Amino acid sequence: MGVTPAGPPSLPTARGPVTEGLLAGLRARPGTALPGAEGGDGWDEDLQLALYLCYELHYRGFQGVDDDWEWDPELLRLRRDLESRFTETLRAELGPVPDVQEQLDGLLVEPLHGSGPSYFLRDRGERWQAREYLAHRSLYHLKEADPQAWALPRLHGRAQAGLLTVEFDEYGDGRPERMHSRLFAEMMADLGLDPSYGRYLEAAPAPALAAVNLISLFGLHRAHRGALVGQFAAMEITSSPGADRLAQALARLGAGEAGIRFYREHVEADAVHEQLVRREVIGGLLAEEPELAADVGFGLAASGLVEQRLGDYLVSCWEAGRSSLRVPLPEEAAVPSEAAAAPSAPSAPSA
């Protein structure tokens, strides 16, 4: 079964003046002047791709890009400006944020008939739509838990121990073959997708980039350690029921065992993680640093906002019968043998 290759991805094509200037700089020597971040709003394609490029230098980088760009003053200046615009957009759209406990209580209520992608895929999704969903999510899940690991040296006591416990599970309890990023790569391969790290960056639209950028934004700033904890809590609390729906969807659509294992793993694991994150990570953090309550609340609310925007975008595209990717996936080369008895699935329509 294919797994994620270790090498860095290729640079994508530009989506506007900011990414055009940034990409030109990254192909040159560190210290090259970079553009400003003027124009557009915090959700647009140009800004979100530029921010993603800046953040990815802290993970695996890009082919042909000097590693010294990671801490280059010009790049950090541009990144700061991009982050300011993104954060301002988030706060303006969120408005007043409810307190932490109110948000946590709301997340624990699971609607019977929701409208998000997991409901859509479970109840009426087609195989090409499930494959698109995995392509979008690959931007995060092929580095699953890496952004949250930035918080470990910034937490203490109960919060640090609780987060480390959850992270240890995410990394397969010390077994490389059980790492969640590897399980996701195997699921992609089972569905006829390329599991190479960063393979679908070119195809990913701004809503998918924003969902990943938010986590990196919080993870890379000590000042937002509370927000990162809030984001992680939102993800873990909502993960288990969503994973169950997605496992049902993929089984119905003919996925093999490798194509379902990732979400089945999350049904049980994240039910336990949810308790740890609420009681130990959030509880421990706010017991030691109660002044971070507003930042935790911001992380919870911002996570919900970016996920809602992505979910609405995906479902609106699929309901209209069009691809949700900027570059639609090629037709699947072969359907796994387990799907032989299932109805044939159409390839994705042209965008």
Last residue of a domain, one of 56, 72, 94: 94
Q: Are 278 and 145 members of one domain?
A: yes
pLDDT band per the 50, 70, 90 thresholds, residue 334 = low
Q: Are 56 and 165 members of one domain?
A: no
- Residue 349 pLDDT > 70: no
Split into its structural domains, the chain has a count of: 2
Per-residue pLDDT of 81-106, as tens digits, reads 999 999 999 999 999 999 999 999 99
217 is a domain residue: yes
Q: What is the DSSP letter of 19?
A: H
Tell me how far CA of residue 346 lies from CA of 89, 130, 299, 349, in angstroms: 38, 12, 39, 8
- Residue 6 pLDDT > 80: no
Q: Give the mean pLDDT of 221-235.
A: 96
CA angle, corner 211, sides to 116 and 230, nearest 5?
A: 90
2 is a domain residue: no
- Report the percentage of the chain scoring pLDDT > 70: 91
Tell me how far CA of residue 252 lies from CA of 119, 144, 264, 315, 343, in angstroms: 13, 25, 14, 19, 10
Give the domain range for residue 58. 17-94
Q: Are 146 and 188 members of one domain?
A: yes
Q: Are 73 and 161 members of one domain?
A: no
11 is a domain residue: no
Q: Are 45 and 121 members of one domain?
A: no
- The C-alpha atoms of residue 190 and residue 184 are separated, in whole angstroms, by 10
Q: Are 113 and 38 members of one domain?
A: no
Per-residue pLDDT of 170-182, as tens digits, reads 999 999 999 999 9
136 is a domain residue: yes
pLDDT band per the 50, 70, 90 thresholds, residue 351 = very low
Per-residue pLDDT of 109-153, as tens digits, reads 877 678 899 999 999 999 999 999 999 999 999 999 999 999 999
Last residue of a domain, one of 64, 94, 124: 94
Radius of gyration of the chain, Cα coordinates, nearest whole angstrom: 20
The pLDDT value recorded for residue 292 is 98
| Contact assessment for residue 325 and residue 351, using Cβ atoms and an 8 Å cutoff | yes
For 224-280, strand residue ranges (E) read: none
- Residue 247 pLDDT > 50: yes
Q: Are 130 and 229 members of one domain?
A: yes
The pLDDT value recorded for residue 96 is 97
190 is a domain residue: yes
Q: Are 214 and 104 members of one domain?
A: yes
CA angle, corner 140, sides to 5 and 6, nearest 5?
A: 15
Taking all residues of the chain, what is their mean pLDDT, rounded to a whole number?
91
The pLDDT value recorded for residue 286 is 97
More confident residue, 308 or 111: 308
| Contact assessment for residue 6 and residue 55, using Cβ atoms and an 8 Å cutoff | no
122 is a domain residue: yes
Q: What is the CB neighbour count within 10 angstroms for residue 296?
A: 27
For the chain, strand residue ranges (E) read: none
The sign of the torsion formed by the CA atoms of 14, 17, 23, 27 equals positive
309 is a domain residue: yes
Which range is least confidently modeled, 20-29, 107-116, 125-134, 250-259?
107-116
Residue type, 8: P
Last residue of a domain, one of 74, 94, 114: 94
Q: Give the mean pLDDT of 276-304.
A: 96
Residue type, 97: V
Q: Are 62 and 183 members of one domain?
A: no
Q: The domain that contains 218 carries what CATH number?
A: 1.20.910.10
For 247-285, b where at least 16 C-beta lie within 10 A, e where not — what string? bbbbbebbbbebbbbbbbbbbebbbebbebbbebbbebb
Element (H, E) at 210: helix 206-219
The pLDDT value recorded for residue 109 is 81
Residues 6+ apart with CB under 8 A from 177: none
Residue 240 in tokens: 């288990």
308 is a domain residue: yes
- Residue 335 pLDDT > 50: no
Q: Are 108 and 72 members of one domain?
A: no
pTM for this entry: 0.92
- Residue 287 pLDDT > 60: yes
Q: Are 81 and 112 members of one domain?
A: no
Q: Are 226 and 108 members of one domain?
A: yes
